[in-house]
Amino acid sequence: MANMLQLEINGIPVEVPAGTNILNAAKSVQVRIPTLCHHPDLPAWAACGICVVRQAGSPKLLRACCTEVTPGMKITTHDSDIVRVRRTVLELILANHPNDCLQCPRNNNCELQKLAADFGIREIPFPTDVPSIPVDNSTPSIVLNPEKCIKCGRCVQVCQGMQDVWALEFIGRGEKTRIAPAADVTLNESPCIKCGQCTAHCPVGAIYENDETRKVWDALRDPDKHCVVQIAPAVRVAIGEAFGKDPGTLMTGETYAGLRRLGFKAVFDTNYSADVTIMEEGSEFIERFTTNGTLPLITSCCPAWTDWMEKYAPDFIDNFSSAKSPQQMLGVLSKTYYAEKMGIDPAKIYMVSIMPCTAKKYEISRSENMFSSGHQDIDVVLTTRELARMFKSSGIDFLKLASEDADNILGSYTGAGTIFGVTGGVMEAALRTAYCLITGDAQPPAINFEMTRGMKGVKEAEIDIKGTKVKIAIAHQMGNVEQVLNSIREDRKAGRKPRYDFIEVMACRGGCIGGGGQPTGATDEVRKLRTAGIYSDDEKSKLRMSHLNPDVQKLYAEFLGKPLSEKAHHLLHNHYHSKKVYAK
Amino acid sequence: MSYKQFILVCGGTACESNKGIALFTALKNAVEAHGLVNDVQVVRTGCLGFCEKGPIVKILPQDTFYVEVKPEDAEAIVGEHIVKGRVVSRLLYDKNQSKTNVGIEGIDFYQKQFRIVLRNCGVIDPDKIDEYIARDGYKALEKVLFEMKPEEVTAEVLKSGVRGRGGAGFPTGKKWQFAAMQPAGQKYMVCNADEGDPGAYMDRSTLEGDPHSVLEAMAIAGYAIGANKGYVYIRAEYPLAIQRLETAIAQATEYGLLGDNILGSGFSFSIEIRLGAGAFVCGEETALLASIEGKRGMPTPRPPFPAVKGLWGRPTVINNVETLANIPVIILKGAEWFSKIGTHGSKGTKVFALTGKINNSGLIEVPMGTTLREIIFDIGGGIRGGKKFKAAQTGGPSGGIIPPQFLDVPIDYDNLAKIGSIMGSGGLIVMDEDDCIPDIAKFYLDFTVDESCGKCAPCRIGGRKLLNYLEKICKGTGTLQDIENMKDISEAMCRASLCGLGQTASNPITSSLRYFYEEYKEHIEEKKCRAKKCKNLLSYTILAAKCVGCTACARVCPVNAISGERKQPHVIDNAKCIKCGQCYDVCKFQAVTRA
């Protein structure tokens, strides 16, 4: 039992565990202290000065975000004096902000805008001064607009701390402080892995996804193009948030319907190719595991993670599954298998994918393997946020749409495919199939591998497949990954058998449901709800193991032969290369 | 070898940069030329304090004090004074003296001073550990290691009442106590030598003149809190201090006074130097620690305080140079002795770097409680050129501007806070009637805006806005509403900034608005700068009656704003005039007026 402390906030008695900060103590009695730089994912950075409160007996104001409560504290959170200080600070921030809200990607969804509205700011008493700094749009994924930046430091903390990427840094000093990669190189020249967590945490419109909706609008109008689309597992549990639904609400059928209304000729589901991924990657694992191949096998579905590995851990290239990500598999299958079956010229197929992820925008051209259909396998990637905007701007009453089904041959999925959207999901899906393939059983004793689930940064387990032990590790949020790699490096150094056989990595916290392209405002609370949404999709699926997907079986029968066949290798696998970056 | 006489040459940065090194060499050569190398030793010491009159040479044992000595004077000092025993009167502070034993007694500058921190500065050769040891150096360390328990050391420091000399004045003993209370394990002792206030050089001089006193104190602190590793964080712009520290650390290590198992006591303590790049904010302790760790120098929220979670997450005590230099004396003479000096809440002495419009600028050390009047008029010799005292600024850019009505307030932490200033690290800048208060405030804001780390919004944005308003006011385009806005911003900065820099950056404005509001109003309403500093508010005219038509002004005017025939009165075209004031300076007939 934690040591409980008593204090008073605005005269209300409060009892909270020792170590609680004033902000959370106030929350527990329904007092909301305004914040701007604070984010529950991150340690307090204390940059903005908006959350100041007063402790009785002290003339100084305290920052609620980073001051722990002490017994008997008497805190005032709101009075004319405190609000005046906060207001002046806010006015100062607004004086150096472009305030062009109408043209901002975060219009109506901006923490600074909301604060200004809450404070009833009607004019800024101080002369405005917005520095003119060029926009960095060097990557295909992320746009950094320093003019809008309020230097809250979230993106830097996310990039260096949570994600262990070290692309973003404060550069310059004092009023010239800005956020940019060290040495002021472009994001593309930096170690940026395009995970987009900076965009998901930015309170304003200073760093955001590269908006490519225009390309899709144009393609949809082009009579020579046959537009097809796929949606990733994590999109369906988050897109509703953009329309006021609770996080985790399953919107699969509505999204299919909406996409058809936008004009897509066929609507596919990345969950289908997730099932294919399991066939390829699962077979790859069984092959390596049973023939003394290179272990551990490490999943490679996440392009941010593969980019990080190529930059910071190229010593693990041989451990990588050569299987492409589900997005890329679906892309290549649409321009080969689907095109063949439908008699469509693949050059005319325009493949759009809807992803919870900004790194997926980078993945589609990351190497020549992404062109194995003879064309660029995927033409454009939109994030969940971009799709929501398309729905809104096309007059689709999204919430009232009747649910529809995905299109044939690349649209059906099992529960194993859908759980790719959460941390542990790829591993769980692989284990379900691997168990059956190794043992010949119809299904594992428990279909849910509970040890793969949950928000713990690194999950480890030993799976007993009828006497054969498979040791696994699952890491999510890039900052948690190096410790896993280091443990393998230790084993290598000592000449030991590696402690894990199979490792799953997802770059974002919680997995793809917490992706950098998802609706903003994700916290662990939100992530948990989205995760629950994914598992409920799995639970209600009739088939919950990838190898049982009849359309996948048909794919192998009609087109690929068998997993890891030569054709499968050509179309569904790829290579990795070491990349040079500056030291972390 | 025993010398009969000693020639001490000031080796502080100010004297050294004023041909002090050449003087030292010249004196050595002269001693050699006279065949006196076995009888007379030439010693390069630390700062003697009287920088205004440097380079300083002192002859022992007579205690003769020579000022403004040039290398050419070396022969006279050796040939006349040393060989013939005749004082070189022209080099004395009081040129009319003729006795050889003219020490500092006759010099006002030294009369009210009391030296604890600077006890060895100007007395010993800082590069020779033996000289420090000969003046009881490392005796305090020996005493604590063999006669005192760590908690007794902390208790003694606490009892002495010594407060941090770096700025905020936190009781040093308390800081030690917090760190000592933390569970045993790796702890650190850090010396903050990141002195950065404009015009302040107390810490530099202490390190240049007596580096061992600081090293000894760090070892004592290390023993008291249970740390065996120390860092001196010093700005790279202090090359002489760094060099002397390096020599001192090497010597102390060689003597077994630093390093493993000091004097066989079982206590080990080593010290490393870390160079800062000169960012003012790195004097703030959390930013300083970040900088030592190799990170960007930005403050972090406190708590956790460094004494609990400091360098690399370990308990760390950070003390300023001057604070530390007091410690060996407190240990040797006792807390009781120390606490008798100073005022009720502020014990001991304070070193000030006295600069500005003052006759005797220099480094001084006075008991806490000395008044500004004593410092400025007795020690400092009053205002230069007989002008009128207008204000004093203590605490550097974080301090306030103190008007004449507080000249008799005894200076200590609490009194300074009451009148809207702070002790700060000890910069003391004196202003006269030619200084414009909004312009001075602008100077300080310019500094803090430049030195803000940029982390927190009130400081990063507020500082610039304040500076813009001050620039407006000094240009004559300010409004009374600007002053109201400045007050709001100052308040928000003071109360919502994360670190001391932002919290105090508006002090020069707040205090000057309080005491010199009229001057701001004059700038705004009458477009007038009474100090005639703000050039946009000045206008130059030529008095026809006085002008002889010499054309000097017309020739010097860079924008051809002055016209007139030779030997005829000239005229200034105010539309062209850029108010550079060159005509005013060049006119020999006082025909150009400035208003």
Averaged confidence pLDDT in chain A: 95
Mean pLDDT of B475-502: 95
Q: Is the pLDDT of residue B315 over 70?
A: yes
Tell me: do B517 and B460 sit in the same domain. yes
- Letter for the amino acid at B260? D
Tell me: do B446 and B370 sit in the same domain. no
Q: Judge whether B489 is closer than 8 Å to chain A, CB to CB.
A: yes
Give residue A219's Cα distance to chain centre. 26
Tell me: do B403 and B542 sit in the same domain. no
All structural domains of chain A, each given as residue ranges with its CATH number in brackets, are: 4-78 (3.10.20.740), 128-209 (3.30.70.20), 214-572 (3.40.50.1780)
Tell me: do B300 and B174 sit in the same domain. yes
Residue with tokens 């689709």: A396
Residue of B nearest to A52 (CA): B496
Residue B112 located in a structural domain: no
Q: Which of B296, B454, B488 sits opposite A175 (nearest CB)?
A: B454
How many residues in chain A?
584
pLDDT category of residue A27 using cuts at 50, 70 and 90: very high
Give, in order, the Cα–Cα distances in Å from A405 to each of A161, A231, A238, A267: 41, 12, 18, 8
End of a domain among B506, B526, B546?
Answer: B526
Residue B198: the pLDDT is 84
Nearest 5°: phi and psi at B107?
Answer: -105, 120
Tell me: do B334 and B361 sit in the same domain. no
Task: Tell me how close the Cα of B184 comes to any Cα of chain A, in angstroms.
Answer: 22
Check: CB of residue B277 under 8 Å from CB of residue B155. no
End of a domain among B339, B364, B382?
Answer: B339
Residue A241: the pLDDT is 97
From A281, A310, A386, A504, active-site residue:
A281
Tell me: do B519 and B556 sit in the same domain. no
Q: Which of B121, B287, B47 is nearest to B190 (CA)?
A: B287
Query: Is A212 a known active-site residue?
Result: no
Whole-prediction pTM:
0.92
Residue of B nearest to A175 (CA): B460
Burial environment of residue B103 by CB neighbours within 10 A (0 to 12, 13 to 18, 19 or more): middle
Q: Buried (b) or exposed (e) across A280-314, using 16+ Cβ within 10 A? A: bbbbbbbebbeeeeebbbbbbbbbbbbbbbbbbbe
Q: Is the pLDDT of residue A36 over 70?
A: yes
Task: Tell me how close the Cα of A68 comes to any Cα of chain B, in angstroms.
Answer: 8
Tell me: do B399 and B287 sit in the same domain. no
Tell me: do B365 and B471 sit in the same domain. no
Residue B40: the pLDDT is 93
- CATH code at B71? 3.40.30.10
Q: Which of A46, A96, A173 sits opposite B456 (nearest CB)?
A: A46
Mean pLDDT of A427-432: 96
Show contacts of B15-23: CB within 8 Å, 24+ apart.
B15/B47, B15/B48, B15/B51, B15/B54, B15/B55, B15/B56, B16/B55, B16/B240, B18/B54, B18/B55, B19/B55, B19/B70, B19/B71, B20/B54, B20/B55, B22/B71, B23/B55, B23/B57, B23/B69, B23/B70, B23/B71, B23/B73, B23/B74
Task: Tell me how close the Cα of B14 comes to any Cα of chain A, in angstroms.
Answer: 30
Task: Tell me how close the Cα of B302 comes to any Cα of chain A, in angstroms.
Answer: 8
Tell me: do B212 and B290 sit in the same domain. yes
Q: Which two tokens stand for residue A542?
A: 């009739």
Query: Is A360 a known active-site residue?
Result: yes
Query: Is A265 a known active-site residue?
Result: no
Express as a percent the part of chain B with pLDDT over 70: 98
- CATH code at B464? 1.20.1440.230
Q: Is the pLDDT of residue B167 over 80?
A: no
From A65, A110, A301, A357, active-site residue:
A301
pLDDT category of residue B441 using cuts at 50, 70 and 90: very high
Mean pLDDT of A371-375: 96
SS3 content of chain B, % helix, strand, coil (to 5): 45, 15, 40
pLDDT category of residue B63 using cuts at 50, 70 and 90: confident
From A37, A155, A198, A512, active-site residue:
A512
Residue B98 located in a structural domain: yes
Q: Which of B296, B452, B457 sits opposite A49 (nearest CB)?
A: B457
State the complex-level ipTM: 0.91
Mean pLDDT of B28-32: 93
- CATH code at B544? 3.30.70.20
- CATH code at B280? 3.40.50.11540
End of a domain among B339, B367, B386?
Answer: B339
Query: Is A321 a known active-site residue?
Result: yes
Helices (H) and strands (E) in chain B, counts: 24, 17
Q: What is the 3-state secondary structure (H, E, C) of A173-224?
A: CHHHCEEEEHHHCCCCCCCCCCCCHHHHHCCCCCEEECCCHHHHHHHHHCCC
pLDDT digits (tens, 9 = 90+) for B285-294: 999 999 999 9
Q: Judge whether B488 is closer than 8 Å to chain A, CB to CB.
A: yes
Mean pLDDT of A202-227: 97
Residue B14 located in a structural domain: yes
pLDDT category of residue A60 using cuts at 50, 70 and 90: confident
Check: CB of residue B260 under 8 Å from CB of residue B236. no
DSSP-derived secondary structure letter, B370: -
Q: Judge whether B483 is closer than 8 Å to chain A, CB to CB.
A: no
Query: Is A368 a known active-site residue?
Result: yes
Mean pLDDT of A411-426: 97
Tell me: do B469 and B590 sit in the same domain. no
Mean pLDDT of A558-584: 92
Mean pLDDT of A40-55: 95
Cβ separation B485–A126 shorter than 8 A: yes
Residue A311: the pLDDT is 95
pLDDT digits (tens, 9 = 90+) for B246-299: 999 999 999 999 999 999 999 999 999 999 988 899 999 999 999 999 999 999
Tell me: do B197 and B313 sit in the same domain. yes
Which residue range is the domain that position B100 belongs to? 5-107
Query: Is A111 a known active-site residue?
Result: no
Mean pLDDT of B439-458: 95
Residue by residue, DSSP assigns B444-513 as HHHHHHHH--S-SHHHHHHHHHHHHHHHHHHHT---HHHHHHHHHHHHHHHHH-SSHHHHHTTHHHHHHH
Check: CB of residue A463 under 8 Å from CB of residue A449. yes
Mean pLDDT of B394-401: 90
Residue B98: the pLDDT is 64
Residue B580 located in a structural domain: yes
Residue B101: the pLDDT is 63
pLDDT digits (tens, 9 = 90+) for B515-547: 999 999 999 999 999 999 998 999 999 999 999
Q: Is the pLDDT of residue B326 over 60?
A: yes
3-state secondary structure of B327: helix
Residue B113 located in a structural domain: no
Distance between CA atoms of residues A7 and A5, nearest Å: 7
Residue B395 located in a structural domain: yes
Residue A274: the pLDDT is 97
Q: Is the pLDDT of residue A1 over 60?
A: no
Tell me: do B407 and B481 sit in the same domain. no
Give residue B574's Cα distance to chain centre. 42
- CATH code at B364? 3.10.20.600
Task: Tell me how close the Cα of B483 comes to any Cα of chain A, in angstroms.
Answer: 12
Q: Which two tokens stand for residue B519?
A: 């001057």
Domain total of chain B: 5
Residue B94: the pLDDT is 79
Residue by residue, DSSP assigns B240-266 as HHHHHHHHHHHHHHHTTSSBSSGGGSS
Strand partners, B243: none
Burial environment of residue A317 by CB neighbours within 10 A (0 to 12, 13 to 18, 19 or more): middle
Q: Judge whether B295 is closer than 8 Å to chain A, CB to CB.
A: no
Residue B162 located in a structural domain: yes
Residue B124 located in a structural domain: no
pLDDT digits (tens, 9 = 90+) for B171-209: 999 999 999 999 999 999 999 999 988 888 999 999 999
Q: Is the dihedral of CA B417, B420, B425, B431 positive or negative?
A: negative
